[in-house]
Structure 1
Amino acid sequence: MTISRFIASAVLLLTSAHLHAFEFKTVGANAVVLYDAPSTKGGKLFVAPRGMPVQVVLTYGDWAKVRDASGDMAWLEQRSLSVRRNVVVRNINAKVRSAPDDGAPLLMTADKGVILELVDPQPSSWIRVRHRDGISGYIKMADVWGI
């Protein structure tokens, strides 16, 4: 009887975890300190720059546990997050094109670590982005993190 309860609980847990989609947000208007615990008394890990995309893994009161593009996890106050969506380039020399096609004219090349605003959050093999200089175009989804 206990084995069947264990199996049922495990299936339920896996199913519910599978249905929960992680939410991506962006560090708001100001840089924010990331901590190792959900408290300002926790150890300070690093400072996240404004506009940095993060994946919200867990919320606890006024705090959110987030993952960055490198996979590191830390805590920050939820009020420091924005619903505005940004992505970060994860490949060297990622190409932003005028249309979602490898043959479309090249608008710019973005280096690894460049933050781009997500213009159209509908995921496909290409996404529409905008650079802070105003250049707007399409980049391969495989070249960015945050969606």
Structure 2
Amino acid sequence: MGRKTLFCIVAAGVLAVAGAVVAETARGPVTNLPLPRFVSLKASKANVRRGPSLTHRIDWVFKRKNMPLEITAEYGHWRRVRDIEGAGGWVHYSLLSGARTVIVEHDMLPLAMRPEANTPAVAHLELGVVARLGECGPDWCYLNAAGYKGWAQKAHLWGVTPDELRD
């Protein structure tokens, strides 16, 4: 193997590592908060626009207050978001909240008394239920849904990343 080939291989490895580090530490140019990140819909109705201004066409309207959304980009007072189905667009930041919620992705998900398998369930959550997110460990998150509080397996929730830990 020649020097030129070895240099190209090493350079490609360095660029790959640098790209991974940049991807993990991406920050919004407006807020300097991590991208992507989860938020919730503050309003009971929010126009979702094709671009980041009032002059852009409204593609649809979100109508579910507290619905979790993932912010993927920022531009001025606008945030590009996507929902659980991958649909998205630009929403004004005043319609979003930092309060965290999740959507249950498994029908009749047990809400357990403790973050352990085979513990008694205080309730069972239906598919699509929106719950307020509390602390999260590696595998379990504490939820509050319609007054019921308990632990649910993180793998069955949308609105929290698999590696996210919360106090």
TM over 0.5: yes
Look up the SS of the partner of 1:142 in the other structure. helix
Percent identity, please: 24
Match of 1:62 among 64, 74, 77: 77
Deviates more, 1:58-67 or 1:25-34: 25-34
What letter matches 2:24 in structure 1? H
Give 1:80 deviation, angstroms.
Answer: 0.9
Task: State how many pairs are aligned.
Answer: 143
> Structure 2: which 5+ residue stretches go unaligned?
1-7, 27-33, 161-167
Could you tell me which residue of structure 2 aligns to residue 84 of structure 1? 99
Could you tell me which residue of structure 1 aligns to residue 4 of structure 2? none
Could you tell me which residue of structure 2 aligns to residue 47 of structure 1? 61
Partners of 2:19 and 2:116 in 1: CA distance: 40
1:74 aligns with 2:80: no
Match of 1:93 among 83, 108, 127: 108
1:140 aligns with 2:160: no
> Structure 1: which 5+ residue stretches go unaligned?
none
Give 1:77 deviation, angstroms.
Answer: 0.3
CA RMSD of aligned residues (A): 2.3
Could you tell me which residue of structure 1 aligns to residue 39 of structure 2? 25
> For residues 104 and 11 of structure 1, do their structure 2 counterparts lie closer, same or farther at Cα, with a shift above 3 Å needed?
closer
Which of these two proteins has the greater Rg computed from alpha carbons? 2
Give 1:12 deviation, angstroms.
Answer: 4.1
Q: TM-score, normalised by structure 2?
A: 0.75
Could you tell me which residue of structure 2 aligns to residue 107 of structure 1? 122
What letter matches 1:69 in structure 2? I
Q: RCO higher in 1 or 2 (8 Å CA, sep ≥ 6)?
A: 1
Q: TM-score, normalised by structure 1?
A: 0.84
